[in-house]
Structure 1
Amino acid sequence: MSNTLKPQLADAVKTAMRAKDAPRLGTLRFLQAAIKQKEVDERRELDDAEVIAIIEKQVKQRRESIAAFEQAGRAETAEQEKAELTVLQEFLPQAAAAEEVEAAIASAIAQVNGQGITGAPAMGKVMALVKAELAGRADMSAVSAQVKARLM
C-alpha cells in the first residue's frame, strides 16, 4: 500500500496553522504524535493501512469518551470530543455501504462454515475476515454485533 496519508496529514496541519484553527490543529498534532510514537516503538515507517488502524483506534476512543461524558452530564467536553471525532474521520476511507457490510459478513460466514466451524467458535474467524475486508470503512463494534446476531 502506498504512503499517502502521512503527507496528507502534514498538509492538514499546515493548513490548520495558517487558519489559526487551534482545536483542529491540536487534534491533528495529537494524531501525528500517536503515529510517530508507533514508528519509534517499531523502528520503521508505517504504511497507510497501519496509519488507518491508529486513526480507527483514536476514533474508537473518542466515541467511548463522548458516551462517558454525556452520561456524566458534561456536554461541553462531549462537544469537544465530537469535534475531534469529526476531524479524525476526515482521514478514514469512505464508509462502506450497509449492503457492502452485509455482503462481507455473509461471505465470511459462508467461508468459515465451509471449513466446518459454526456457532460461537466461528466469531473470531469471521471477524478476522470481515476486518481485513472492511478495515477503516466500518465501525467494527457494530459489525461485531451483526456477526454475533447472525451466528447465534
Structure 2
Amino acid sequence: MIREQLTEALKEGMRSKDQTLLSTVRLILAALKDRDIAARGKGQPQGLSDEEVLAMLAGMVKQRTESITLYEQGGRLELAEAERQEIEVIRRFMPRQLSAEEAGDAVRAVIAECGASGLKDMGRVMAALKERFAGQVDMAKASALAKRELGGPA
C-alpha cells in the first residue's frame, strides 16, 4: 500500500513540477530498493513489509531531525529548512503521529494489558508498543514514558 502511495506521489511530483516532492520521493524509493535487495539476500523474496517500510521512513525522519539541529547550530538555516520540507513529504506516507497525551495513554494501556509491574517487563512493553503503534509514536519518547510508568528513572 505504501509503495503505491509513493508511486502516485512520484507521478504527482512530475506533473506539478514540485522539486521537493519529486526529489524526496525518489530518495525514499532508492532507499526502499536498496533495502529490498538486501532483504532478498536474506531470504525475503517479496522485499520489505509495510511495517518495515514505516520503520525505514521513521529512521529517515529521525536523520533529518538530527540534521536540522546540526544545521541550525552551524548557522545553515536554508539547509535546515530544506530538511524540514523533506520531513513533511516523508510524513505524508506515515500514519498520523500520536500527541504526547495520546502516546502516554497508549503506553499506560499497553503496560496494563501486558501486566507489567517493573523495569524487568520493559522489553515486553516496548515490543507490544512497536507492534501496535509502529510509525505513530516516537519509540525513544515512548521508552522514556514506559520507564517512568514502570518506576524507573526517565
TM-score, length-scaled by structure 1: 0.85
Match of 2:134 in 1: 135
Match of residue 83, structure 1, among 85, 93, 114: 85
Deviations 1:81-134 (A, max 9, x none): 00000000000012235454223211332345x36x623x33333211112111
**Separation in structure 1 between the aligned mates of residue 74 and residue 62 of structure 2, nearest angstrom:** 18
Match of 1:124 in 2: 123
* Offset at residue 39 of structure 1 (A): 0.7
The one-letter amino acid of 1:142's match is K
The one-letter amino acid of 2:30's match is A
Contact 1:104 1:133 in 2 (8 A): no
TM-score, length-scaled by structure 2: 0.84
Match of residue 104, structure 1, among 106, 116, 135: 106
Percent identical across equivalent pairs? 41
Match of residue 16, structure 1, among 4, 13, 30: 13
Please, what is the CA RMSD of the aligned residues? 1.8
Contact 2:110 2:128 in 1 (8 A): yes
Contact 2:122 2:146 in 1 (8 A): yes
Match of 1:60 in 2: 62
Q: Please, which runs of 5 or more residues in structure 1 have no aligned partner?
A: none
Q: Please, which runs of 5 or more residues in structure 2 have no aligned partner?
A: none
Contact 1:101 1:134 in 2 (8 A): no
**Separation in structure 2 between the aligned mates of residue 72 and residue 140 of structure 1, nearest angstrom:** 28
The one-letter amino acid of 1:52's match is L
Deviations 1:11-42 (A, max 9, x none): 10111012111122111100001111111111
Q: Give the total of aligned pairs.
A: 146
